[in-house]
Amino acid sequence: MIRKRMSGYVVIAAMTMPIAVHAQPSAVSDSGTMTVPFVFDGKRPPVWSGGALLVADGLLFSPSAFMAFNRDGRPISSAGFSIPEAFKTSIDGFARGADGTVALCGQSYASDGRGAPFIALISADGDPQRVIRTEPYMPAVVAVAPDGTLWTVGHELNFDSHSEKGVNREAGVLRHYDRNGKSLGAFIPRSSIKDISHFTLPFSMLAATADRVGWLHYDVRGRAPGAYIEISRDGNVSSYPLPQPQGAQPYFLDLGGMAITDAGDVFAVVNNFTNKQPSSFTLVVLNRSEGLWLPVRMPVSARSARLYGSNGNELAFWLATGGGGYSTVHFFTPDKR
């Protein structure tokens, strides 16, 4: 682990750190399911944040409607989104706040192809609140902290939003905003990250709690080292390098999501492959004191899994076990360690 107290940036050093298999693993207990009247197949993966499951409907790369479901699977809000003057709008990341506000990030495009990156906020009753322009910074992932502030991951591109030529490579990629779009901080210089895939879905995952924000990023083919980076409320920045998990195919890493519980534990899903096909998954938890990722015993098995986020201290999963048209979310509660 690399840890520094900083007001601005932290430089990440590459390290090799195997997942610990000698340590006694933690375990999680089954705490129920919820069924949502919405088919996830062919859609963007939902996220669990702000106490609800937020799902996107519409085109895969340009969803135009968002719905939230509570722990019982009942719909509690819905909202549409568009930028009327834009020729095309692309939405990359979305998340929900504790007050029901939905945060989106992406780009709107003019007819000549020029893009304007933005963060948008939709109130709990479905009314657009504001659109915050962020150029030249292009946010691709967004999280809403319990205090209503916004965290994003992205990088700067030039005016046509197609290249990094001429931009500030020391500008931070992890940024913090208030609800009006005022910058509250920028972390991790662009020059410290080798591959742009680390800024984009599905290779970039972000979660925010009351006392920390965590960013998990990696390269699917292992061309550049990944890491879990955490910023505490007091500005302490910690970096935990992300290794190739045992059993993973060489140069291939498929992470199926990340979550931070209210207790502060960080979990991630590693999807394992056999003959290039998903065959099982492993849940791992971060041991900060030793800088190790520990495997976690699960009461179920599946070909693959997606960790949507956390509901307090519950973990919300989708499991590839087959099934019908309605979608089921499985909840598991980590045992106290």
Which mean pLDDT values do the consecutive 10-residue runs of the chain (337 residues) have? 38 34 67 90 89 88 87 93 82 94 90 82 87 92 96 84 72 94 93 76 89 88 74 89 57 81 94 83 91 90 94 94 73 86
Residue 168 has a pLDDT of 81
Residue 311 has a pLDDT of 94
Residue 78 has a pLDDT of 92
Residue 60 has a pLDDT of 67
Which CATH number, 3.40.50.10300, 3.10.450.40, 2.120.10.30, 3.40.50.300, labels domain 14-334?
2.120.10.30
CB neighbours of 193 closer than 8 A, spacing ≥ 6?
12, 155, 173, 199, 217, 224
Residue 325 has a pLDDT of 52
Cα–Cα distance, 330 to 307 (Å, whole number): 10
CB neighbours of 328 closer than 8 A, spacing ≥ 6?
33, 34, 35, 36, 318, 319
Give the number of other CB atoms < 10 A from CB of residue 220: 15
Measured over the CA atoms of residue 335, residue 229, residue 119 and residue 7, the dihedral's sign is: positive
Measured over the CA atoms of residue 74, residue 77, residue 83 and residue 84, the dihedral's sign is: positive
pTM: 0.87
117 contacts 109 by C-beta, under 8 angstroms? no
Residue 89 has a pLDDT of 85
Cα–Cα distance, 291 to 322 (Å, whole number): 36
Domain boundaries, the chain: 14-334
Cα–Cα distance, 104 to 93 (Å, whole number): 6
Residue 122 has a pLDDT of 94
